[in-house]
Amino acid sequence: MNKFATVRRVKMGKILLVASGDNIAKYAYQLQSELNFPPDFEIINLHMEQALYYVRSLLKKEDGDIDVVIARGNTAKLLRDAKISAPVVTIPISDSEILAAVRQARESAAKEDPIVGYIGLQDVVSSVRHFLETLKIKARLYQANSSAEIEKSIIRAQREQVDVLIGGVYTCQILESIHVKHVLLESSLASVREAYHRAREVQRNINLQRKRLQEKNTILNTAVNGVVSINESGIVTSINQVAADYLHTVPFKVVGKHFTELLDQEDSQPISSALSTGEKPPDFLLKRNGDLFLLSVNPILVNQKARGIVVSIQKQSSSKGSDRPAASFGDAIGQSEQARQILDTAREYSEWDLPVLLIGETGTGKRFWAECIHSASRRSSSPFVSIDCSMLSRHNQPSGRTLSRLLQSADGGTAYFAEIWRLPPEEQALMADFLEEKRMVLPDAGETVSADVRIIASSSRDLSEFAGSGRFNQSLYHTLNTLPLPLSSLRQRRADIPAFAQYAANRASSLHGKEISFSPEALEVLQNLSWEGNLDQLFSFCQRLTVLTRSSRINANFVRIQYGGNPFSCLQKDPETSPAILPTVQDTGISVAGRWISCSELCDLERHCGGNRTLMAEKLGVSRTTLWKHLKRLSSEGNFPHEAIALSGQK
């Protein structure tokens, strides 16, 4: 599991009650006792700016985990307006508490027809006005949201000859010091209890959101690709560790920031466009510290409007600082004549700064030889960018845009185009121009792109045939064919199979903590098997042998057992369509001991055995008569030379 995807317990924070007065503090401690002193319920007795400073400093501490703040009146408003990182629940003031304060103020005035004033918040001003008017009391109401405004309101009330003032703790403290009649408008225990239960509900919702976010982050951090979530305001709401690693940052530095702080202006433009239009822009390439990434921008639509963006980041290639070292000629395996010829030709090609065309079946090591040529060339210290041409055919970028950025990312180095026959026709024409002039003109933008890049391409298809039939750009074919390098299949270089097999077993052994070797008979069996997938198939098969064997030495019988049989035989075939899709064994070869032997392999085996049918039969593990019957049938179907059957009677 990804180390960043470790599941952690959702951490619970505290509920902080800001009493802002001895009376509220008394009720808060009484409530705390009723609740049997919960460890996550904390009480402080501060008000206004003092309370704000304390709460802010507490929230900055690593251990200052405050989920919810409970406060009253102006202190609650001040905390909320300051946009602290915790939600604020206000202790309510009930109508009965307001009515009680108004009646007490009228009585304390000790005169008929007194003027009663109130200093405080707008929402309470409205309620006080209602009760004063109902009781036919002259009223002076002063809205105040800060300590400075409270002080100014007191001076104004004195000028207006208010007899009694109703206010909160801070207001009453000042009035007490200047000997002005006053009544404290205070919340009751019931109001404090109500605020506490509301705070608990808010805390439960917060923890639920935390759990969901943690689950989402766990999923994101187990993803293979990088993922960045952006809200409709352009703020990064989440980024998984893969994306953070790709972009050389850490999640906490990115979340909460605008996406333009993560990407430069040009790379930010597709995201800005998606947020404004709600349309998915073309995928685009991003280069960071020598690495190349494919970014896919996906709008989240609600009622046809973009309410957010999810950006997927997929690593395309590495140049400088690659995760794995580039191959070199010293890594080449094989002592056959074909192996030596490939090595000598590749070494010679590495000296020339010209296009190379690697030609071979799937699994013949085309990428390996491309890396070897690059590593031995004068460009070895510059980027080696590997390009999957099928990727270019899937992009909805304007013609040549992705291709040009890939070439620019390899500037000074080598660009390797895997399976170049898959390159779309428009890009083929642009590549032909680029190879001719080292620059290309993008048709849609009219922009000229240049780069100093050596091109190495590979193909498992006959490009000469493709070019002749109009399926591949002829000019590009002839330019790429400047330095052709045919790569033999394993069937054509069976002498190298033992070395490849032991190399594959050694590599698998080191991964799985084993030490495995092959018996001579096992290596002989491997040499005579069909390897249509070439090195890819051989390496996978040797890994299977290494993992499954219970011995330190693999014998011939174990190889035959593991190679034989068809794992797809469990699938039900459609009797009407299967013969048309999959040729029968009788059509193209023979089945021997559960193994498939093609006609071409039989011809190779015949040459290897010098036409000796007895030796061929021994190699195949069948009788000479059985082999003769198989060959006679293949000959009658036109799949095996007649002279071979004639020879079979002589030896």
Q: DSSP class of residue 186?
A: -
Q: What is the pLDDT of residues 284-299, one digit of tens each?
A: 778 777 677 888 888 8
Q: How confident is the model at residue 325 (pLDDT cuts 50, 70, 90)?
A: very low
**With 60 as the cut, is the pLDDT of residue 461 above it?**
yes
Per-residue three-class SS string for 405-468: HHHHHCCCCEEEEECHHHCCHHHHHHHHHHHHHCEEECCCCCCEEECCCEEEEEECCCHHHHHH
**With 80 as the cut, is the pLDDT of residue 358 above it?**
yes
The average pLDDT across 126-141 equals 85
The average pLDDT across 315-338 equals 69
318 in Cβ contact with 416 (< 8 Å): no
The average pLDDT across 318-347 equals 76
**With 50 as the cut, is the pLDDT of residue 240 above it?**
yes
Q: How confident is the model at residue 594 (pLDDT cuts 50, 70, 90)?
A: low
CA distance 92 to 196: 11
The pLDDT score that the predictor gives to residue 70 is 94
Longest dimension (CA), the chain: 141
The pLDDT score that the predictor gives to residue 399 is 58
The pLDDT score that the predictor gives to residue 637 is 58
The pLDDT score that the predictor gives to residue 63 is 56
CA distance 218 to 462: 47
The pLDDT score that the predictor gives to residue 586 is 37
Alpha-carbon torsion (349, 352, 357, 363), positive or negative: positive
Alpha-carbon torsion (260, 266, 268, 272), positive or negative: positive
The average pLDDT across 112-141 equals 85
The pLDDT score that the predictor gives to residue 650 is 42
Q: Which residue has the higher pLDDT, 608 or 258?
A: 258
The average pLDDT across 126-138 equals 84
Tokens of residue 269, six digits:
């433009």
Q: Which residue has the higher pLDDT, 402 or 213?
A: 402
CA gyration radius, the chain: 40
Give the position of tokens 């005579």: 528
The pLDDT score that the predictor gives to residue 214 is 67
**With 50 as the cut, is the pLDDT of residue 392 above it?**
yes
Q: Which residue has the higher pLDDT, 280 or 580?
A: 280
The pLDDT score that the predictor gives to residue 577 is 43
Q: Which residue has the higher pLDDT, 208 or 472?
A: 472
The pLDDT score that the predictor gives to residue 196 is 95
The pLDDT score that the predictor gives to residue 612 is 77
**With 70 as the cut, is the pLDDT of residue 62 above it?**
no
- Coil, helix or strand for 311? strand
The pLDDT score that the predictor gives to residue 258 is 92
pTM, entire model: 0.49
The pLDDT score that the predictor gives to residue 535 is 92
The pLDDT score that the predictor gives to residue 7 is 34
Give the position of tokens 């060959």: 631
CA distance 350 to 369: 10
Q: What is the pLDDT of residues 415-438, one digit of tens each?
A: 999 999 988 888 899 999 999 888
Tokens of residue 113, six digits:
């027809």
Q: Which residues contact 427 (CB under 8 A, 6 or more apart)?
A: 392, 399, 400, 403
Segment among 183-192, 508-517, 529-538 with least mean pLDDT? 508-517
**With 80 as the cut, is the pLDDT of residue 366 above it?**
yes
Q: Which residue, among 225, 315, 223, 233, has the nearest Cα to 271 in the 3D structure?
A: 233
Burial letters 315-342, b for 16+ CB under 10 A, else e:
bbbbbeeeeeebbeeeebebebebbeeb
The proportion of the chain whose per-residue pLDDT surpasses 90, expressed as a percent, equals: 32
Mean confidence (pLDDT) of the chain: 82
The pLDDT score that the predictor gives to residue 622 is 77
Q: How confident is the model at residue 222 (pLDDT cuts 50, 70, 90)?
A: low
CA distance 7 to 5: 6
Q: What is the DSSP string of 326-392?
A: PP-GGG----SHHHHHHHHHHHHHHTS-S-EEEE--TTS-HHHHHHHHHHHSTTTTS-EEEEEHHHH
The pLDDT score that the predictor gives to residue 639 is 57
405 in Cβ contact with 266 (< 8 Å): no
For 121-163, strand residue ranges (E) read: 138-143
The pLDDT score that the predictor gives to residue 647 is 41
Q: What is the pLDDT of residues 444-460, one digit of tens each?
A: 667 788 889 999 999 99
Tokens of residue 486, six digits:
């045919």
The pLDDT score that the predictor gives to residue 416 is 93
- Domains in the chain (CATH in brackets) are 3-91+191-204 (3.40.50.2300), 95-186 (3.40.50.10660), 226-318 (3.30.450.20), 329-488 (3.40.50.300), 496-563 (1.10.8.60), 582-648 (no CATH)
Q: Which residues contact 56 (CB under 8 A, 6 or more apart)?
A: 82, 84
Segment among 99-103, 371-375, 433-437, 566-570 with least mean pLDDT? 566-570
Q: How confident is the model at residue 316 (pLDDT cuts 50, 70, 90)?
A: low
**With 70 as the cut, is the pLDDT of residue 327 above it?**
yes
517 in Cβ contact with 503 (< 8 Å): no
The average pLDDT across 458-483 equals 93
**With 60 as the cut, is the pLDDT of residue 482 above it?**
yes
Q: How confident is the model at residue 407 (pLDDT cuts 50, 70, 90)?
A: confident
The pLDDT score that the predictor gives to residue 238 is 86
Q: How confident is the model at residue 65 (pLDDT cuts 50, 70, 90)?
A: confident
Q: How confident is the model at residue 29 (pLDDT cuts 50, 70, 90)?
A: very high
